[in-house]
Amino acid sequence: MAENLAKIWGVVIVDSPIISKNKFMKKYRAIGTNYQTQGFEMLPSMAEFYKRYGMTAHGGYDWAAVTGEGVFWDCDIDGVVLNTEIDSSGGLGVNVITESEEGIFKHRFWHLKDFYVKAGDKVQMGDLLGWADNTGASTGTHLHEDMKEMVKDSNGGLVIKNYGNGTYGTIRYEKWFENKYVLETAKGKNTTFRRVLIEIIKRLLK
């Protein structure tokens, strides 16, 4: 039963993520466009929409985006891609797991055009995850991002903590967040350079 529920919720990953060397996580903006269209709480105009899904709040953060704009891993600790997913509305999303002394979290990036990563990939700050779009239950091109705290079950798999909190386990991430484009941070710039160099080498070896 637990295994079946885990499959439905998409919460089981490899045996255990690697504990980050960082004691504390810092989170930045995953896209270049700096315009938040909706925060954790729901807009009054969207109340009926969320009620249809049994939600009491939006439960995430929406950022306006340009179609095809890169979406990058925005934390200063490494993550492991849990999976890429297409939901029942046709929305494309990437789920990334982090683990540090603060706990285990699932980071979700949604309404994408396509994926750059795959399940099991390790991602570092500034790595490309995919590209923004308007897929799924969306009224315009944007990035929906949210976080869910995870706990390990008796079998060592991961399940969502507080799943019944009205937003299916999502939590506010303001305490970790600094509104700065991840690629404009020193570490993000370094990762971008490393990624471009790797791509050049791959092409030369073809």
| Cα dihedral 188/186/23/63 (nearest 10) | -50
- Report the C-alpha dihedral over residues 80, 82, 88, 92, rounded to 10 degrees: 20
- How far apart (Å, rounded) are the C-alpha atoms in residues 159 and 148? 10
pTM for the model:
0.83
Write the DSSP string, 36-79: EEE-SSPPGGGHHHHHTTT-SS--SEEEE--TT-EEE--BSS-E
The residue type found at 81 is: V
pLDDT single digits (tens) 94-144: 999 999 989 999 999 999 999 999 999 999 999 999 999 999 999 899 999
Gap between the Cα atoms of 97 and 83, Å rounded: 9
> Mean pLDDT, consecutive 10-residue segments, the chain of 206 residues?
37 48 86 96 86 90 96 96 95 96 96 97 95 95 97 92 95 96 80 64 68
Tell me which architecture the domain covering 2-205 has in CATH. Answer: Distorted Sandwich (2.70)
- As a whole number of angstroms, the distance between CA 35 and CA 38 comes to 9
